[in-house]
Amino acid sequence: MTNTKRHAIGILTALIGLHVSTVAAGRESEQRAALNRKSLQSGLGAGAVALLRRLPGPGAETVAQRLTTEFAERQRLGGAVVLQQGEGRVDATVGTARFRVDDDGTRIRYDNRATVDNGKYERVSVEKRLSHDQLVDLGLKFIAGPISPYVKLGRGDEIVPLKSEYEVEGGVDQHGKRDEDKVVAATIVFGRTVNGIHVVGSGSKISVTFGNDTSILGFRVDWPQYASTAQHQQVLSTHEIWERVSALSSMHFGADDVKVERFECGYFDNGARADRDKNAFVQAACSVHYVGRKDVQHEGRTESLVTAIADQIPVGVVVEPDAAWPHATALLTRGDVCAVSEMWSSVESPPAAP
């Protein structure tokens, strides 16, 4: 499988050999690639944006009750219903299906992998996996159907596909022969635009995981309703954004080389977290994903120390307070300073849009 990055998420050891389940990247959507290009070229692409408010949700208990009745009925889930109140969340089960609803009910997690684990489930070859385009279509239909009560669109809102990824199993037998990679499941991830501006961060995200037979194995939703305010925020120029990226970069280990992997500008919403500042505006920011490398000497050998960082940089000329956003707090505490960091080379020569 070309151009894939694998990260082990689980290992199953058997007497006959070793099998590994990994996540393999599928495809980045055209919309996300375009966002990266636009952000590199022109930052937010707007001189000012209207600040947003994240509206309170219906509550975790209310949403959990609906999921274990309405959603469970639509998905034909069988078994006893159990609800358990936790700190800042509600956990629920319906037979083999598991739900978790966090905070104010705008973040939901659902898992039901009983079919995968029953021994009759069919793994397929990489060539027979669900395609990216098929996943987009299936995902949008699922969002418009069973989970539509939890994914409401406001005026100017649009759901946009971001990426696909696949769960792949492979391994070796007792003779060291590598087994053929088999696809277990496929996931499609969606984001949101508000009046054409993408929402970056973990908020306004939906992921749906399908079995190879297109059955629903799980989904994740973090989807609030927003209210536009009469207050507008002026946005930094592209060069000023890069200067602020350098000043607020959290990479501090003396990297010799820094590569920006992704640069996405829009509204920043970090999701329905227990520690979020409920009084904060949803405001302008750029999400910067970068990797730093530093050569170090170890036992007479030169080795590379590699660190991956994701910084959420506020890019308003005037930044609004957000007690749960360290970068915004740092900026409001010490002001806009021109600090040289490992990212300074990117300020002097920002990476070109692909």
Mark 234-250 as b/e (b = at least 16 C-beta within 10 Å): ebbebeebbbbbbbbbb
Q: Are 132 and 26 in contact (CB under 8 A)?
A: yes
Mean pLDDT by 10 residues, the chain (354 residues): 37 44 81 96 94 95 96 93 92 96 95 88 93 97 97 96 93 69 95 97 97 96 97 95 88 74 96 90 96 83 85 96 94 74 51 61
CA–CA dist 81, 139 (Å, integer): 26
Give backbone dihedrals phi and psi of 348, rounded to 5 degrees, phi first: -70, -35
Distances in Å between the alpha carbon of 181 and those of 38, 123, 127, 132? Answer: 36, 9, 10, 18
Let me know the angle formed at the C-alpha of 202 by 196 and 206, rounded to the nearest 5 degrees: 75
| pLDDT score of 246 | 86
- What is the torsional sign of CA 186, 38, 53, 333? positive
Residue 142: count other Cβ atoms within 10 Å of its Cβ. 19
Choose among 179, 180, 184: nearest CA to 168. Answer: 184
| pLDDT score of 301 | 87
Rounded CA Rg of the chain: 22
Furthest CA-CA distance within the chain:
68
Which of the 8 DSSP states describes residue 253?
Answer: S
CA–CA dist 214, 131 (Å, integer): 12
Q: Are 36 and 354 in contact (CB under 8 A)?
A: yes
Which of the 8 DSSP states describes residue 67?
Answer: I
Tokens read off for 269: 């919403």
**3-class state of residue 4 by DSSP:** coil
| pLDDT score of 303 | 84
**3-class state of residue 100 by DSSP:** strand
Q: Where are the domains of the chain?
A: 58-105, 229-348
| pLDDT score of 352 | 61
92: left (phi over 0), alpha (psi -120 to 50) or beta: beta
| pLDDT score of 15 | 38
Choose among 50, 317, 41: nearest CA to 195. Answer: 50
Element (H, E) at 329: helix 326-334
| pLDDT score of 19 | 55
CA–CA dist 88, 85 (Å, integer): 8
305 beta partners: 294
Q: What residues contact residue 109 under an 8 Å CB cut-off, 6+ apart? A: 98, 99, 100, 101, 102, 218, 219, 220
Tokens read off for 337: 């300073």
CA–CA dist 108, 188 (Å, integer): 16
| pLDDT score of 277 | 92
